[in-house]
Chains A and B, each alone.
Chain A
Amino acid sequence: MSQTIAEKILAAKSGEARVTPGQIVDAYPDLVMSHTATWRSVSVMKKIGANTLYDRDRLAIVLDHISPAKTEKYAADQQTSRNFAREYGIEKFYDVDAGIAHLVLMEHGHVKPGDLIVGTDSHCTIYGALGALGSGIGYTEVASVWVTGKLWMKVPTTIRLTLEGGFAPGVSAKDLMLHLIGRLGADGCGYKSVEFYGPALRAMSISERMTMANLAMEMGAKCVFIPPDEKTLEWLLPRLKDAASYKPVSADRDARYEQSIGIDLSSLTPMVACPHQVENTKPVTEVLGTRIDQAFLGSCANGKYEDLAIAAAILKGRRIDPRVRLIVTPGSKEIMLEAMRSGVLATLMESGALVTNPGCGACAGDGGMMADGEVSLSTANRNFIGRMGSNKSSIYLSSPATLAASVLQGVIADPRELYRGASQ
């Protein structure tokens, strides 16, 4: 009784009846994700002299960050990962054409409510969009979990966020998260679990929920939960191999929260994270007219089909400003296929965008590097110095709608202007 979702999952995965915040448990993750860094874990495994896995079916490998290889070194590292997957019979192996690990694993039904999932990427929190406990760990720890099956974790305290109202046109989940990150700070939820609730949540698509769970990492969250509902079931069920494995976990009514925060979505405006910290957020109205050289539509935060479709709806029949280079990277193979079929990809190309193969793309510094003094507007989740090229370049983060409105003008623009135009 009186347990949060994180407490319930960690108790279940460590064989305890119940756990309390601050307690250290030995948990057995259901899935260990490793991406392009897999070769590092492989070399750690060799170094410690291990040659057996606890359970090969709990491993998932997706080569997403540098896809495909640009250098001999990356080619050799990817081959190491590929050979490892072959040698150990890893069935959940996805090569350089698959897309971003997080999206690929969710699309392929490898993430279920109540699962404990760890991986070599800080944005593993995204699995909370489907009600799983996702958290990032290092590649050394990954090797250790591969071999022992377990990982020690401290049970986090939980913050409860309640969403009410609805977004104004041109405002989206990305703006909500940039607002929250700015308000609470980069460590505002440091090592805490975040549970989202409220009537507004039910209206949100799975894609928006993924954006939220993904970005909560940028306020320090250990993990995030958006409790599963009919939408989760509808999205996930056709993707699961075994429908009976769909067992949502919910918090007890009397669960203890460290803090409760309420937000009225209708009060939010489009937000932008300014250089060089995600928490350096401002309403878009304060940076209107900022020149941009490059725009990047993609990443696990906003490279989903809905994100591409939102941008395409704005760009349809228009040309991007010739001063701007727009790079679009679909998050996964499934997303790219949907965008091909619906015409979204053609619309983006016709507007002047460069559409790349699926993957992490420019967000992780894979293509789309910037020169000294250049400015980028990106839908990704990080804007740290040098992340997309020169240390003298700068990155602004925004929603797909703000990005689309901005590439039309060559400067940062307010998307609400376009939506006002459309409704008239």
Chain B
Amino acid sequence: MNMVEKILARKSGQKSVAPGDVVVTDIDLMVMHDLSANFVMKVFDNEMEGASIADPAKLVFAFDHNFAPATREAAEALAAVRRFAARHGIRNLFDSGCGSIHHVIMEAGLVTPGMIVIGCDSHTPIYGALGAFATGVGNNSMAALGFAHGKGWFKVPETIQIHFHGTPMKGVGPRDISQFLVGHLGEDGAIYEALEYAGPYIQSLDVNDRSLFPLQAIDVGGKCGFVNPDEKTVRYVRELLGNSAAAARLELFQNDADARYAHIIDIDVSRIEPQVACPPTVGNVKPIDAAVGTPIDVAEAGGSTGGRLSDIRTLARCLTNRRVHPGVRLQVVAASRGIYLAALKEGLFEILHTAGANIFPPSAGSNQAFNMGALAEDEVMISTQARNFPGRNGHPKARHFLASALTVAASALTGRITDPRTLEDL
């Protein structure tokens, strides 16, 4: 068995499971952001009279789309979730300004290897980077099974192993490679399959960089994504948990040597150039040449795929003693309070602010344009965000390109989509 199969077997009380089996399991953690918490809460309140929450300690709400509600309706929705949480004894409520949901939850040490995590956010598979089985579910499933019973049912997925080897060329980072994979497999390239990210390249990455891969599993239709947990996983989790009892109990579910795969895909990362996902979808991924020269109005480093400390460091390195192009509004959004404070204390924000960037509160940033990120009809944005669908950021004709923090930085400097390899000192 592989990691996913072992977790599903353990949590459903069976010795072993195989792809295609349907299992009912306990759920360890249920995560929702402000938008989905509100939807699930309404289903629970309106459609499930008399139900009670099986285990409120397993629920987590993190308000990330609204860092400061821009409308009365948004304010009412947040207030309703706060009241729901108080009424049901849900203690894990991270209010507006906490950051981007998954980074907040990881930073709080709420996810440990071997857990089953479900969330009403399609990027929930990110926790596969910590050796957990994590997947997105609908609002109704969350309310009816998760809230009421603390359980979920799953069909055990087939697993594809993506084996990455080689050393990336200068100017190419994990975002380029994870994005390349999306384009390579296609948006329906791994429907209801588990993706295992493996090989020397993945092993060389830290947990934060690894997390980009399972985070994007959904973009190829995957059920979940994971990295077989290793000593880096353990170190990452132990650092967060300190000397707690949970830290002492850590149990890894590692692949057996004879784990079976539906197929194995081999990728040589040394051949991958900087990648951009062009409008109108995340799967429209191209080598950067296809977009180079496109004038931009807005650049953003932020969101679950780009507000990490490493992204902000990349940006600060590129913008030290430089100015953002006068035609560009550069937005920087840390993915958590911890990242914000670290960037502030390292002096990164001072560098970026002085270069002309606008620093926003920890949040999901321009994702779906709740507090920021609305574009006019003919405006163009390049960002590290996870999604670029038409109308997601203002006018349906506005265009949104997705790229690495380095490509965003290079483009913010020149005012056009720029191959970071062409700029000196980057």
Which positions in A face B, CB cutoff 8 Å? 68-72, 74-76, 78-79, 95-97, 325, 327, 333, 336-337, 340-341, 345-346, 349-350, 354-358, 361-362, 366-372, 374, 389-390
- Please measure, in the bound complex, the distance between the C-alpha atom of A372 and the C-alpha atom of B74, giving whole angstroms: 12
Which of B69, B331, B394 has a CB less than 8 Å from the CB of A367?
A: B69
Given known pairs A346-B341, A369-B70, A372-B79, the reply for A357 and B376 (CB within 8 Å) is no
Which of A357, A367, A370, A371 has a CB less than 8 Å from the CB of B359?
A: A357
Q: Which residues of chain A come closer than 8 Å to B372, judged between CB atoms?
A: 68-70
Majority SS at the chain A contact face: mixed
- Please measure, in the bound complex, the distance between the C-alpha atom of A325 and the C-alpha atom of B93, giving whole angstroms: 13
Which of B72, B359, B360, B377 has a CB less than 8 Å from the CB of A76?
A: B377
- In the complex, are the beta carbons of B68 and A356 less than 8 A apart? yes
Among residues of A, the one whose C-beta sits closest to the C-beta of B98 is A354
- Please measure, in the bound complex, the distance between the C-alpha atom of A97 and the C-alpha atom of B78, giving whole angstroms: 27
Closest-CB distance, B114 to chain A (whole angstroms): 31
B87 at the interface (CB under 8 A from A): no
- In the complex, are the beta carbons of A72 and B395 less than 8 A apart? yes
- Please measure, in the bound complex, the distance between the C-alpha atom of A337 and the C-alpha atom of B373, giving whole angstroms: 23
B291 at the interface (CB under 8 A from A): no
- Please measure, in the bound complex, the distance between the C-alpha atom of A354 and the C-alpha atom of B371, giving whole angstroms: 14
Which of A325, A337, A357, A368 has a CB less than 8 Å from the CB of B354?
A: A337
Closest-CB distance, A384 to chain B (whole angstroms): 15
- In the complex, are the beta carbons of B75 and A354 less than 8 A apart? no
Among residues of B, the one whose C-beta sits closest to the C-beta of A340 is B350
Which of A72, A356, A370, A389 has a CB less than 8 Å from the CB of B376?
A: A72
- In the complex, are the beta carbons of A97 and B76 less than 8 A apart? no
B358 at the interface (CB under 8 A from A): yes
- In the complex, are the beta carbons of A70 and B354 less than 8 A apart? no
Per-residue 0/1 for B346-363: is the Cβ within 8 Å of any A Cβ (1 yes, 0 no)?
000110011011111100
- In the complex, are the beta carbons of B376 and A337 less than 8 A apart? no
Which of B72, B96, B329 has a CB less than 8 Å from the CB of A354?
A: B96
- In the complex, are the beta carbons of A369 and B394 less than 8 A apart? no
Among residues of A, the one whose C-beta sits closest to the C-beta of B297 is A79
Given known pairs A68-B373, A355-B361, the reply for A327 and B340 (CB within 8 Å) is no
- In the complex, are the beta carbons of B67 and A369 less than 8 A apart? no
- In the complex, are the beta carbons of B74 and A97 less than 8 A apart? no
Per-residue 0/1 for B60-90: is the Cβ within 8 Å of any A Cβ (1 yes, 0 no)?
0000000111111011101110000000000
Closest-CB distance, B329 to chain A (whole angstroms): 6
- Please measure, in the bound complex, the distance between the C-alpha atom of A349 and the C-alpha atom of B97, giving whole angstroms: 10
Q: List 24 A-B contacts (CB under 8 A).
A: A69-B372, A70-B369, A70-B370, A72-B374, A72-B376, A74-B374, A75-B379, A79-B376, A96-B329, A97-B357, A97-B358, A327-B97, A337-B353, A337-B354, A340-B344, A340-B349, A345-B344, A349-B344, A354-B67, A354-B96, A356-B361, A357-B361, A369-B69, A390-B72
Among residues of B, the one whose C-beta sits closest to the C-beta of A86 is B327
* Interface residues in B307-344 (C-beta closer than 8 Å to A): 329, 331, 337, 340-341, 344
Closest-CB distance, B9 to chain A (whole angstroms): 40
Closest-CB distance, B363 to chain A (whole angstroms): 9
- In the complex, are the beta carbons of B394 and A69 less than 8 A apart? yes
B95 at the interface (CB under 8 A from A): yes
Closest-CB distance, B129 to chain A (whole angstroms): 27
* Interface residues in B376-414 (C-beta closer than 8 Å to A): 376-377, 379, 394-395, 398
Interface size, chain B (Cβ < 8 Å): 45
- Please measure, in the bound complex, the distance between the C-alpha atom of A325 and the C-alpha atom of B68, giving whole angstroms: 10
- Please measure, in the bound complex, the distance between the C-alpha atom of A369 and the C-alpha atom of B97, giving whole angstroms: 14
Q: Which residues of chain A come closer than 8 Å to B79, judged between CB atoms?
A: 371-372, 374
Among residues of B, the one whose C-beta sits closest to the C-beta of A368 is B68
Given known pairs A340-B349, A350-B341, the reply for A367 and B371 (CB within 8 Å) is yes
Among residues of B, the one whose C-beta sits closest to the C-beta of A388 is B75
Among residues of B, the one whose C-beta sits closest to the C-beta of A337 is B353
Most chain A Cβ neighbours within 10 Å, of B340, B361, B379:
B361
Which of B67, B337, B350, B369 has a CB less than 8 Å from the CB of A356?
A: B67
Q: Which residues of chain A come closer than 8 Å to B68, judged between CB atoms?
A: 327, 354, 356, 361-362, 367-369
Known pairs A75-B376, A372-B79 / 17 extra A-B pairs, C-beta < 8 Å = A68-B358, A69-B375, A71-B369, A72-B375, A78-B376, A96-B329, A96-B358, A97-B358, A325-B96, A340-B350, A340-B353, A349-B341, A357-B360, A358-B358, A368-B69, A369-B74, A374-B79
Q: Which residues of chain A come closer than 8 Å to B80, judged between CB atoms?
A: 371
Given known pairs A340-B344, A350-B341, the reply for A68 and B329 (CB within 8 Å) is yes
Closest-CB distance, A87 to chain B (whole angstroms): 14
B263 at the interface (CB under 8 A from A): no
B345 at the interface (CB under 8 A from A): yes
- In the complex, are the beta carbons of A370 and B353 less than 8 A apart? no
Q: Which residues of chain A come closer than 8 Å to B97, judged between CB atoms?
A: 325, 327, 354
- Please measure, in the bound complex, the distance between the C-alpha atom of A358 and the C-alpha atom of B394, giving whole angstroms: 22
- In the complex, are the beta carbons of A79 and B379 less than 8 A apart? yes
Given known pairs A68-B331, A357-B359, A369-B69, the reply for A75 and B375 (CB within 8 Å) is yes
Closest-CB distance, B70 to chain A (whole angstroms): 4
- In the complex, are the beta carbons of A369 and B356 less than 8 A apart? no
- Please measure, in the bound complex, the distance between the C-alpha atom of A366 and the C-alpha atom of B372, giving whole angstroms: 10
Among residues of B, the one whose C-beta sits closest to the C-beta of A66 is B70
Given known pairs A68-B373, A75-B376, A76-B395, the reply for A354 and B344 (CB within 8 Å) is no
Closest-CB distance, B394 to chain A (whole angstroms): 4
Q: Which residues of chain B come closer than 8 Å to A96, judged between CB atoms?
A: 329, 358
Among residues of A, the one whose C-beta sits closest to the C-beta of B345 is A346
- Please measure, in the bound complex, the distance between the C-alpha atom of A76 and the C-alpha atom of B394, giving whole angstroms: 9
- Please measure, in the bound complex, the distance between the C-alpha atom of A97 and the C-alpha atom of B360, giving whole angstroms: 10
Most chain A Cβ neighbours within 10 Å, of B329, B360, B373, B398:
B329
- In the complex, are the beta carbons of B67 and A367 less than 8 A apart? yes
Closest-CB distance, A118 to chain B (whole angstroms): 28
Q: Which residues of chain A come closer than 8 Å to B394, judged between CB atoms?
A: 69, 71-72, 75
Given known pairs A97-B329, A369-B69, A371-B75, the reply for A71 and B358 (CB within 8 Å) is no
Among residues of B, the one whose C-beta sits closest to the C-beta of A328 is B361
Which of A333, A349, A389 has a CB less than 8 Å from the CB of B353?
A: A333
- Please measure, in the bound complex, the distance between the C-alpha atom of A74 and the C-alpha atom of B369, giving whole angstroms: 12
- Please measure, in the bound complex, the distance between the C-alpha atom of A313 and the C-alpha atom of B283, giving whole angstroms: 50
- Please measure, in the bound complex, the distance between the C-alpha atom of A71 and the C-alpha atom of B356, giving whole angstroms: 23
Closest-CB distance, B101 to chain A (whole angstroms): 16
Given known pairs A337-B354, A369-B72, the reply for A71 and B359 (CB within 8 Å) is no
Pairs of residues from A and B, 6 with the lowest C-beta to C-beta distance, nearest first:
A367-B68, A354-B97, A371-B79, A97-B358, A369-B75, A75-B376
Q: Which residues of chain B come closer than 8 Å to A390, judged between CB atoms?
A: 72, 75-76
Q: Which residues of chain B come closer than 8 Å to A389, judged between CB atoms?
A: 69, 72, 75
Among residues of A, the one whose C-beta sits closest to the C-beta of B395 is A72
- Please measure, in the bound complex, the distance between the C-alpha atom of A215 and the C-alpha atom of B359, giving whole angstroms: 29
- In the complex, are the beta carbons of A75 and B361 less than 8 A apart? no
Which of B72, B74, B337 has a CB less than 8 Å from the CB of A349?
A: B337
Q: Which residues of chain B come closer than 8 Å to A350, judged between CB atoms?
A: 341
- Please measure, in the bound complex, the distance between the C-alpha atom of A30 and the C-alpha atom of B75, giving whole angstroms: 41
- In the complex, are the beta carbons of A70 and B374 less than 8 A apart? yes
Per-residue 0/1 for B82-120: is the Cβ within 8 Å of any A Cβ (1 yes, 0 no)?
000000000000011100000000000000000000000
Among residues of A, the one whose C-beta sits closest to the C-beta of B69 is A369
- Please measure, in the bound complex, the distance between the C-alpha atom of A371 and the C-alpha atom of B72, giving whole angstroms: 6
Q: Which residues of chain A come closer than 8 Å to B78, judged between CB atoms?
A: 371
Among residues of B, the one whose C-beta sits closest to the C-beta of A79 is B376
- Please measure, in the bound complex, the distance between the C-alpha atom of A217 and the C-alpha atom of B160, giving whole angstroms: 67
Which of A95, A367, A370 has a CB less than 8 Å from the CB of B70?
A: A367
- In the complex, are the beta carbons of B344 and A346 less than 8 A apart? yes
- Please measure, in the bound complex, the distance between the C-alpha atom of A389 and the C-alpha atom of B371, giving whole angstroms: 15
- In the complex, are the beta carbons of B379 and A372 less than 8 A apart? no
- Please measure, in the bound complex, the distance between the C-alpha atom of A345 and the C-alpha atom of B358, giving whole angstroms: 15
Closest-CB distance, A18 to chain B (whole angstroms): 45
